[in-house]
Structure 1
Amino acid sequence: MQRRNFVVAGSALIALPGFATAQTVEKPKVTIAVGGKNLLYYLPLTIAETLGYFKAEGLDVTIADFAGGSRALQAVIGGSADVVSGAFEHTINMQVKGQRLRAFALQGRAPQIVLGVNPKTMPNFKTVADLKGKKLGVTAPGSSTNVLANFVLAKAGLKPSDVSIVGVGAGSGAVAAMRSGQIDAISNLDPVITLLLRSGDLKIVSDTRVVADADKIFGGPMPAGCMYAPQSFLDKNPGTAQAIANAIVRADKWIQQAGAGDIIKAVPESFLLGDRAVYIDAFLAAKGALSVDGMFPEAGPETARRALASIDKEIAEAKIDLAAIYTNDFVKRANAKYPKG
């Protein structure tokens, strides 16, 4: 019996809570790519960094920040980053392209993306169909903000080519593009959305910051921000992936217990976009859409596949292996190690 237990443990070292941290962090220096680190969508990543959760797991993490999730994805595919903090649906898109990527810790249980129009350039806006021929700002072309925009357009009978997509980033550049009238509509996240709302520069059309509303829009739970990596990275570095999952789960749980003042102290000043009150409002709006424990909902991958299939013929016709695009194994162990965060 003892011998059998030893063999099982030897073939799956990360099954022992705490073991991975102490002895099997194969790659202590890790680069995580993210598209718009300041966004509340990625708040667990920032909390794991600023509160020292990555360091506590024996990791020396470098976070490479890009204009949007599609650029962060390119960094991992190109080999300049190990892991992505990004949108879940990229794992589906890349499987169709023959790239095996797997999500292993959830940060957001709703997309938190808001599509809205510019009251200055579209004062007579009535329906989504009015966006035909207009300029629509997204964080970066091909990112989750672009995917959600396509989804909303498709429901109104518009094709992606019916609008001009403009990459505006996820910070002050996005705000400036709306205020100056460079774009007619925007698909973006907090704190950008709350800042534009407060100044009267945005009229909301579709809002996925509330979990119940997002579930209604997508017809089920839609996993959002997550940690994902090439399957080859997870195979070679299971202890490192476990350490990352541990840190993210701790951050997820800390956020749920945190007040606005705690958050303000924990994030860099630059994230506030010059207005603490707006950031606090944005946090309160987004908090419910953030994961409470890092777990992917069972129905989530199919919801994501269905949403993408509705706007992408290639995905609609492909046989997606949903079991290969995510795993809850790492977060289950993280929750066992940190039941209270």
Structure 2
Amino acid sequence: MGSGTHGLTQYLASTKGITPDQFTPIAVGSGDTFIAAIKQGTIDAGMTTEPTISRLVKTGDAKVLIDLRTPETTRAALGGDYPFISIYMRADWVAQNKGVVQRVVNAYVKTLKWIQTHTPQEIADKLPADYYAGDKDLYLTALTGSMPMFSPDGKMPAGAPDFILKVLQTYNANVKGKTIDLTKTWTNEYVDAAK
């Protein structure tokens, strides 16, 4: 619990009038463990990522109720941009380890730029075979559809921090009803300096 998918599940439930006492979150992981949880009836619904989604849809074991795999479908479902994948670090650790932070961000930005200049086939060819669970064609289809989700530069989209806070305030007691100085919660400083 406490994962990004758990938080988004809570938010989406609240937007449909479903209260936290009306469902029970269960941590089931992703990939094969998520698929097993669906097939065995351990969970009735869940939120996961690709290629797990496409694997379940292909076998008919699940269907997509809310699609967050492209910027357009995410905006339609959530009402704004939601940069789901980010680098999270404690501010005090960042302040004490600026060189390490810069190297990590350099790697992420370099990877994002590499993704922008390569085809889904070229990307898949660099991944270990177990990543696409024996179905490379299915993975390629899923990746092709998801390519617009990858930031071309790693920068936080304008307005996204405000939107994320709005989402968090619907279910997270730590921020609900509180004023948060968002300028202290994120930075593009290291992305701007990436080499």
Q: Normalising by structure 2, what TM-score?
A: 0.93
CA contact (8 A) 1:249 1:294 kept: yes
| Post-superposition offset of 1:177 | 1.5
Within a 5 Å distance, the mapping from 1:207-286 to structure 2 comes to 207-286=67-146
Q: Counting strand residues as a fraction of each chain, which structure ranks higher?
A: 1
CA contact (8 A) 2:81 2:160 kept: yes
Write out the 4+ residue segments of structure 1 that deviate beyond 3 Å after TM superposition: none
| Post-superposition offset of 1:313 | 4.7
Please give the alpha-carbon distance, in whole angstroms, between the structure 2 residues aligned to 1:149 and 1:186. Answer: 8
| Post-superposition offset of 1:266 | 1.3
CA contact (8 A) 1:218 1:303 kept: no
Please give the alpha-carbon distance, in whole angstroms, between the structure 1 residues aligned to 2:77 and 2:69. Answer: 11
| Post-superposition offset of 1:247 | 1.0
Equivalent in 280, 294, 298 of residue 158 of structure 2: 298
C-alpha root-mean-square deviation of aligned residues, in Å? 1.4
Please give the alpha-carbon distance, in whole angstroms, between the structure 1 residues aligned to 2:174 and 2:28. Answer: 27
* Rg (Cα) greater in structure: 1
Please give the alpha-carbon distance, in whole angstroms, between the structure 2 residues aligned to 1:235 and 1:314. Answer: 23
| Post-superposition offset of 1:173 | 0.9
Please give the alpha-carbon distance, in whole angstroms, between the structure 1 residues aligned to 2:124 and 2:172. Answer: 39
Structure 1 residue runs of 5 or longer lacking an equivalent are 1-140
CA contact (8 A) 2:67 2:77 kept: no
| Post-superposition offset of 1:273 | 1.4
Please give the per-residue CA displacement for 1:292-329, whole angstroms capped at 9, x wherever unaligned. 11100121110000011122354221121201111001
SS in 1 for 2:134: coil
CA contact (8 A) 1:248 1:294 kept: yes
Residue 155 (structure 1) aligned with residue 26 (structure 2): no
Structure 2 residue runs of 5 or longer lacking an equivalent are none
Equivalences, count:
195
Q: Normalising by structure 1, what TM-score?
A: 0.55
Residue 192 (structure 1) aligns with: 52
